[in-house]
Structure 1
Amino acid sequence: MMKLLVSGLQWASFMLASSLVAPIAIAGLFGFSEVDTAMFVQRTMFVLGVSGLIQALFGHRLPISEGPAGLWWGVFAIYAGFAGTIYASDTEALRSLEGGMIVSGIFFIVLAAFGLLNRLATLFTPTVTFVYLLLLILQLSGSFMKGMLGLPNEAGTVQPMMMLGSFITLLLAYYFSAHRLNWIRQYSVIISFACGWLIFIILGQAPAITDHGQGWIQLPHLFVFGPPLFDSGTIVTAMFITLLLTANMLASIRVMEEVIKQVTGSKPKGSYRRAGLAAGVNQILGGGFSAIGSVPISGAAGFVAQTRNASIQSFLVGSLLIAVLSICPPAMNILAALPAPVGYAVTFVIFSKMAGFAFAELDKEKNKEQSRMISGIALLTGVGAMFVPAAAFTEFPVAVTSILNNGLIFGTLTAIAIEQWLIFFHRKKSKAGNY
């Protein structure tokens, strides 16, 4: 029982560290007060915890944690700029986003009900999965490095003490992940978090625990920003976002299947249809509770690979802990005081293992020359898009911007498009040769 609880707490720590940045950043974009920010974070964590339970019990049934979808994060950022122009106020823009997430949920359910997700899953060949994973690592690398250096901050410069604390935490995380004792390797994530937090306390860089006077229990409310708005622009955007979130979800399921095979020796089979139905419910929860739409995150595969723990029971305990702690403001205030550089340093170690999975996928391809060509074009496209300023796409529709301004999605879609075109071309050439 104690082993299960500790494993669950380790999952909860990982979920928290990988999910706190998005709601805090979005709250800053919309100018939320400290209390409103705390409540937004709590609602988001509640949705993530419940979403993880729904997927693990009724959806794909794999230990894949839910995180704030980067695509929704980007759309929130774009809509923050619409306040006062397209929308009369921040509140109206947020109500439109509530509606967008609900529409996305409905569209997810429709795709799953008609069996379209299984067809989309066939597009994720080893080459496409390689491109997706490598772009994911490259896209996050900037955030990891900035976070470990104490950026961004008011001064706009690297914080030497934070950099020192991050470096020590990083070394300890790698040490624990490769320790000769099995139990230390298995619990390396939570041990690294604890040691990193202690280091930052010693260095005087740990943030103070704040009390916003919310009491001991704070149940999440529905439609905090008001009734959802369903305008045509948001509906179209939500439909495009759903298709892109589907790509994220399918890639995460496929990678986790491979990792569990490495850890346990047997490959599970996640249900794409059930995962799609569960994802639809989770998007509706995100809109209903005025939070951020979630998506299964690929980083969970790195977590399982590092801890060598593919137990679904441990994951369920972790998700339940996140959901329960989210309605207890004092507990969330303590957990939210985890120094951000500690989270970035420990997560850096987890994601560094993802590179191995990426190249292992590429090794599965029989036509190496074609695979390398597709990968080269897609990686150049995706990485190149990461260097284009977000402001460069202000004249484009939101749906188009969400693709062009996201190197991960743009590069992955490029890989899918090129590979499918080559498959079609070879089939057509083969048929012509038979006549």
Structure 2
Amino acid sequence: MKHLAGGIQWTVFLIASSIAAPIAIAHVFGMDAVATSLFMQRTIFVLGIACLIQAFLGHRMPINEGPAGLWWGIYVVYAGMVGIFYSTSTDALQALQSGMLYSGVLFIILAATGVITKMKALFTPAITFTYLLLLILQLSGTFIKGMMGVEEAGDHLDPIILGGSFVVLLITFIAMANKRPTVSKYAVLISILFGWGLFLLLGKTPTVAKVSDQFIQLPQLFVYGKPVWDGGVLVTAIFITFLLVANMLASIRVMEHLLTHSFNITPPDRLRQGAFASGFIHLIAGLFSAIGSVPISGSAGFVGTTRMHSIKPFIIGSGLLVLMTLFPSVMAFFAALPAPVAYAVTFAIFTKMVSMAFNELDADPEKERARQAVAFGLMVGVGTMFVPAESLSELPAIIASTLSNGLITGTILAILIEQFMIGRSKKKANH
């Protein structure tokens, strides 16, 4: 029974942390309510399948898969190319659908050749700290705006939403700190249910839209047409895949650290299996015309908060997620989860990740070298976050999507700086 309750909590967390991406992408491509619902259904269906694949065949840790922010950015960039490089939105989405297949094949090649294993050495405590802190800083603005009810430029702060979000945040912290395991373990579920009820009383919940007359609806295959060859998307997919590998390595590294130091569990090294699984997951995403996913670092914050390190509730939650996507009415119901509630609860979870990040930095034996790499990575990464996306719009899609992502830019620079200093130290030692 406790695994079922934990599984339900995982399901709610998976939906709350994944629902924004398909809705936002559908918006930039001008999809109507039905197309948006179906796109969300396919994406979340693939995410549930992805979690199960990783749990049984991949890294075998409770790390949830979420829509990759890098792919999210690429979708937005390609939406801007409609009418320029692509005649219609469907043509652009068809090319991106093929891009998922390219990426899946490349993931499998990188895993088969052992390149993935060699890349793991790059993720030292200093790099993991840089990645985590940049992730937290990049998302903090989104969390705060969401808790204020500010969705886009020109929106005004809504005092009722802000007040409700603050109450939900407070309840989440109280539940997380409760000494009774039955409360602290299910703090996320309790807070989301409480917050949903509160926002219902405040009259700030979205209406549940009716999107289909069918009781059960299976996700469709190749919605935008058969795979096509697109050289530009191929180059983009190659570059994005390498960045997604870096993202995956960081997420696995963070969870390994949490399990080892907080639960005295030493997980086996299944990095290559995780990479193979990511390859098949991207192939499935292309098959179902969905967004490619990546292991999410925030899952470590969730596990640290709930103290629920067992993979059994994670598997149950992922299975429930897949099952739910087959029922359009259930998906429409969860789509009505007030966004400020999800933001407030996620904000509380990410506060745990701040302490995890600093624990990583403290573990680095080369303190001076670590601080220099971190300084470069953080300054460039955070600085990049303030560059308007419009300023990069004339650059090639690959460069634009990378430079507009401070998380990736800062992490890559920190890796380059640290590896340069390591190489220089080795030369001095040899002389």
Q: TM-score interval w.r.t. the shorter chain? A: over 0.9
2:114 match: 115
Equivalent-residue separation in structure 1 for 2:25 and 2:290 (angstroms):
10
1:133 match: 132
1:66 match: 65
- From the superposition, tell whether residues 395 and 63 of structure 1 become closer, same or farther in structure 2 (CA, over 3 Å): same
Q: Say whether 1:200 aligns with 2:232.
A: no
Deviations 1:376-401, CA, capped at 9 Å, x for gaps: 11100000000001111122211112
Equivalent-residue separation in structure 2 for 1:392 and 1:214 (angstroms):
45
2:102 match: 103
Does structure 1 retain, via aligned residues, the 8 Å contact 2:67–2:294?
Answer: yes
Equivalent-residue separation in structure 2 for 1:262 and 1:344 (angstroms):
28
Deviation at 1:160, TM superposition (A): 1.2
2:146 match: 147
- From the superposition, tell whether residues 27 and 307 of structure 1 become closer, same or farther in structure 2 (CA, over 3 Å): same
TM-score, normalised by the number of residues in structure 1: 0.98
Equivalent-residue separation in structure 2 for 1:271 and 1:60 (angstroms):
5
Aligned residue for 2:81, secondary structure, equals coil
Aligned residue for 1:164, secondary structure, equals helix
Q: Say whether 1:242 aligns with 2:232.
A: no
Equivalent-residue separation in structure 2 for 1:90 and 1:172 (angstroms):
43
Equivalent-residue separation in structure 2 for 1:361 and 1:189 (angstroms):
25
1:420 match: 419
Amino acid across the alignment from 1:277: F
Equivalent-residue separation in structure 2 for 1:194 and 1:262 (angstroms):
31
1:370 match: 369
Deviation at 1:229, TM superposition (A): 2.1
Equivalent-residue separation in structure 2 for 1:270 and 1:288 (angstroms):
29
Deviation at 1:20, TM superposition (A): 0.5
Deviation at 1:154, TM superposition (A): 9.1
Q: How does 1:307-326 map to 2 (within 5 A)?
A: 307-326=306-325
Deviations 1:198-231, CA, capped at 9 Å, x for gaps: 1101111111212112411110011101112221
2:49 match: 50
Aligned residue for 2:294, secondary structure, equals strand
Equivalent-residue separation in structure 2 for 1:411 and 1:43 (angstroms):
32
Q: How does 1:160-175 map to 2 (within 5 A)?
A: 160-175=159-174
Amino acid across the alignment from 2:339: A
- From the superposition, tell whether residues 214 and 47 of structure 1 become closer, same or farther in structure 2 (CA, over 3 Å): farther
Amino acid across the alignment from 1:291: A
Equivalent-residue separation in structure 2 for 1:229 and 1:82 (angstroms):
17
Deviations 1:315-359, CA, capped at 9 Å, x for gaps: 000111111101111111111111000000001011111011110
Equivalent-residue separation in structure 1 for 2:59 and 2:101 (angstroms):
21
Q: How does 1:13-32 map to 2 (within 5 A)?
A: 13-32=12-31
Unaligned 5+ runs, structure 2: none
Q: How does 1:34-433 map to 2 (within 5 A)?
A: 34-152=33-151, 156-431=155-430, 433=431
Amino acid across the alignment from 2:61: L
Deviation at 1:365, TM superposition (A): 1.4
How many residues are aligned here?
431
Q: Post-superposition, which runs of at least 4 consecutive aligned residues in structure 1 deviate over 4 A?
A: none
Equivalent-residue separation in structure 1 for 2:167 and 2:99 (angstroms):
43
Does structure 2 retain, via aligned residues, the 8 Å contact 1:189–1:307?
Answer: yes
Deviation at 1:264, TM superposition (A): 2.1
Aligned residue for 1:353, secondary structure, equals helix
Does structure 1 retain, via aligned residues, the 8 Å contact 2:71–2:292?
Answer: yes
Equivalent-residue separation in structure 2 for 1:326 and 1:338 (angstroms):
15
Does structure 1 retain, via aligned residues, the 8 Å contact 2:77–2:401?
Answer: no
Deviation at 1:31, TM superposition (A): 0.3
Aligned residue for 1:295, secondary structure, equals strand
- From the superposition, tell whether residues 43 and 421 of structure 1 become closer, same or farther in structure 2 (CA, over 3 Å): same
- From the superposition, tell whether residues 75 and 361 of structure 1 become closer, same or farther in structure 2 (CA, over 3 Å): same
Aligned residue for 2:331, secondary structure, equals helix
Deviations 1:143-198, CA, capped at 9 Å, x for gaps: 10011111116961111111111010000000000012111000111000000001
Equivalent-residue separation in structure 1 for 2:289 and 2:47 (angstroms):
12
Equivalent-residue separation in structure 1 for 2:352 and 2:201 (angstroms):
29
Equivalent-residue separation in structure 2 for 1:225 and 1:74 (angstroms):
19
1:33 match: 32
Equivalent-residue separation in structure 1 for 2:207 and 2:148 (angstroms):
19
Deviation at 1:266, TM superposition (A): 2.0
Deviations 1:228-278, CA, capped at 9 Å, x for gaps: 222111000000000000001010001001111233212213411101100
Deviations 1:280-314, CA, capped at 9 Å, x for gaps: 01111111101100000000000000000111111
Deviates more, 1:152-161 or 1:7-16: 152-161
Does structure 2 retain, via aligned residues, the 8 Å contact 1:170–1:346?
Answer: yes
- From the superposition, tell whether residues 225 and 422 of structure 1 become closer, same or farther in structure 2 (CA, over 3 Å): same
Does structure 2 retain, via aligned residues, the 8 Å contact 1:100–1:230?
Answer: no
Deviations 1:31-58, CA, capped at 9 Å, x for gaps: 0000000000010000000000001100
Aligned residue for 2:226, secondary structure, equals coil
Does structure 1 retain, via aligned residues, the 8 Å contact 2:98–2:286?
Answer: yes
Q: How well do the aligned residues superpose, as a CA RMSD in angstroms? A: 1.0
Aligned residue for 1:128, secondary structure, equals helix
